[in-house]
Structure 1
Amino acid sequence: MSTNEDSAVEQQRQKRKRIGRIKTGIVMTIAIWMLVSLIAIIVLTVTVVRLNSRVYKMELKQNSTASVQLSETESTGSGELDSVLLQDHDAQIQSENVIRELDSADNAYSKGDTRKVYLTFDCVPGENTAAILDTLAKYNIKATFFVVGDASGENAQIYQRIVNEGHTIAMHSFSNSYSDVYKSKDAFTNDLKQISDYISKTTGVTPKYYRFPGGSMNRISNVNMDELVKVLNSDKITYFDWNVSAGDTSADYTADDVVNNVISGVQNYKTSVVLLHDDSNKSTTAEAIEPLIEALNNISAEILPIDENTYVVQYIKADTVE
């Protein structure tokens, strides 16, 4: 073999070595990149899991005093919360003697108990109210309507129909405006008198029952809720929270959702006060009433309107507020 041929062979050998080193470098680079990416993904995943866990724990802590049913905040008639400063109830001065508890052991359902169910509607009377009343009349069922005021006077016949057909008409504030109702103790007292007078004038019935907008454990009131319970106590008005929610404030809920939510809730109690909503945006709730009544009948529940014999479901026990 000539010297030129030896030189050419050596050059090819060196070229192959260089190519091999380049390939090895590329492979190593890709491998390191993949390893780093994998480590980064693992680190990010762990971080996300930890953050989710912290958020979940914070939510649990925030809602530790509330039942699932009361975790929903009611909307105002316009469908939007008023612009109100949210206040932390834990920071408010509370009476040491006031009992705050939604569920009591004496209301837990045991085999053989009769389930008493109170369908209650936080009500802005309108077209859907008539549809709900039609269904209740079909099954001869009586319910409770916590109504708001109607300055227009256009729905006076609906208030009267509620009374005429044997349902309980109750108060849910006149304005249904959180910023107005909870602005001060005087504002609450004035609104209470306004809705009481309105119902009395419109129907001839003096209302005896009340539901706080957002419930008695809302985080919206500028006033300590104990003070507002005192106002009701002084007027001998009984207020009701709820221990079962239909879930009809959720987005895109269905009639089946309403039925399932209520039935799963009433399984737990001897007395269930069920929260439903009735306004112009709640046609699905109106559609759910018939299958809900049938489902309650299937479990032999007794459906009743609120009266003086009703087991009182309250978060703030009114008889402990002085």
Structure 2
Amino acid sequence: MKKKGSTRFIVLLIGLFYIIVNCCLLGSQKTLAYSNLSKDKEKVIYLTFDDGPSVLTDKVLDILDENNVKATFFLIGNQIKGQEAVVKRIYDEGHSMGLHTYTHTYKKIYSSRKAFIDEMLQTQDEINSLTGIKPTIIRFPFGSRKHLNGPFLEQLHSCNFKIYDWNAIMSDGVNFRTPTEQLYREATKTTITEHPIILLMHCDYMHKNTCKVLPRVIKFYKDNGYEFKIINDVTPENYFPIKK
């Protein structure tokens, strides 16, 4: 009887040992799964500004410099004259520049694929003459939706262009008088679930409220652990779904 009791005790110890080992392994797997989930949802934001350069773009650059943050500027070619120093400053301070057509005139730029590409190339030449670089990242005025299809995408890629729309937006482009509180809510709304976040803002001469709210927007994303990045020619494209 004593031998059977000892055997049962040993069996119980072995069973307890396996339970402890399995619990430890399960805990490790949960930790690994959490790490992978965190990596998949990496917190990255791209601050992007359309419709520059302008006198107000300088103010935006001041704010970015004060907060040690870099951004991406999609420039309109015919606004560069008189704002050459701003374009050089964007480049010198390590920000990224993209193409936003030459005229931003809806009927003209969307009259044909050739007209659209010619305007991008013209703006590219303007930037190149000032900085020595030829940006290849582009943004469609008013977004690529309704304008981009498979063949056009291939044509743009053949010109080495890469397209970037957005998944977060301020309404400053619709109404430059939009109150700062509304702009802040739009830029930081918790319904933004796509990552990375590409936030569209504007920096033409009338967008004073954008400048007023920008420091708060930057602080919000810093406080929430986001990394600020610039869009360049190695950034994965991000454009609205193409209808077949």
TM-score, normalized by the shorter chain, greater than 0.5: yes
- Amino acid in the other structure paired with 1:294: K
Q: 1:237 aligns with which of 144, 158, 161?
A: 161
- Shift of residue 270, structure 1, vs aligned partner: 2.3
- Structure 2 CA distance for aligned equivalents of residues 145 and 232 of structure 1: 20
- Correspondence for 1:189: 117
The answer to whether the 8 A contact 2:72-2:98 is kept is yes
- Structure 1 CA distance for aligned equivalents of residues 58 and 80 of structure 2: 17
- Amino acid in the other structure paired with 2:161: I
Inter-CA distance 174–250: structure 2 relative to 1 (3 Å threshold): closer
- Structure 2 CA distance for aligned equivalents of residues 302 and 155 of structure 1: 30
* 1:83-122 matches, cutoff 5 A: 113-122=41-50
Which structure 1 residue ranges, 5 or more long, are not aligned? 1-109
- Correspondence for 1:147: 75
- Correspondence for 1:129: 57
Which structure 2 residue ranges, 5 or more long, are not aligned? 1-36
The answer to whether the 8 A contact 1:116-1:270 is kept is yes
The one-character-per-residue Cα deviations of 1:81-136 (angstroms, maximum 9, x if unpaired) are xxxxxxxxxxxxxxxxxxxxxxxxxxxxx667331000111122111100000000
- Paired residues in the alignment total 206
The answer to whether the 8 A contact 1:258-1:292 is kept is no
- Correspondence for 2:220: 295
Inter-CA distance 236–277: structure 2 relative to 1 (3 Å threshold): same
- Structure 2 CA distance for aligned equivalents of residues 130 and 124 of structure 1: 10
- Structure 2 CA distance for aligned equivalents of residues 189 and 303 of structure 1: 30
- Structure 1 CA distance for aligned equivalents of residues 123 and 233 of structure 2: 20
- Amino acid in the other structure paired with 1:243: N
SS at match of 2:171: coil
- Spell out structure 1 runs of 4+ moving beyond 6 A: none
- Structure 2 CA distance for aligned equivalents of residues 195 and 228 of structure 1: 19
Inter-CA distance 173–260: structure 2 relative to 1 (3 Å threshold): same
The answer to whether the 8 A contact 1:116-1:304 is kept is yes
TM-score (norm 1): 0.59
Inter-CA distance 250–265: structure 2 relative to 1 (3 Å threshold): farther
- Amino acid in the other structure paired with 2:111: K
- Shift of residue 263, structure 1, vs aligned partner: 1.3
- Shift of residue 175, structure 1, vs aligned partner: 1.0
The answer to whether the 8 A contact 2:53-2:80 is kept is no
SS at match of 1:248: helix
- Shift of residue 204, structure 1, vs aligned partner: 1.1
The answer to whether the 8 A contact 2:49-2:202 is kept is yes
Q: 2:181 aligns with which of 241, 253, 256?
A: 256
The one-character-per-residue Cα deviations of 1:128-151 (angstroms, maximum 9, x if unpaired) are 100000000011100000001136
- Structure 2 CA distance for aligned equivalents of residues 145 and 279 of structure 1: 11
- Shift of residue 153, structure 1, vs aligned partner: 1.9
- RMSD between superposed Cα atoms in Å: 2.3
- Structure 2 CA distance for aligned equivalents of residues 295 and 245 of structure 1: 15
The answer to whether the 8 A contact 1:241-1:313 is kept is yes
- Structure 2 CA distance for aligned equivalents of residues 314 and 260 of structure 1: 24
Q: 1:167 aligns with which of 95, 105, 115?
A: 95
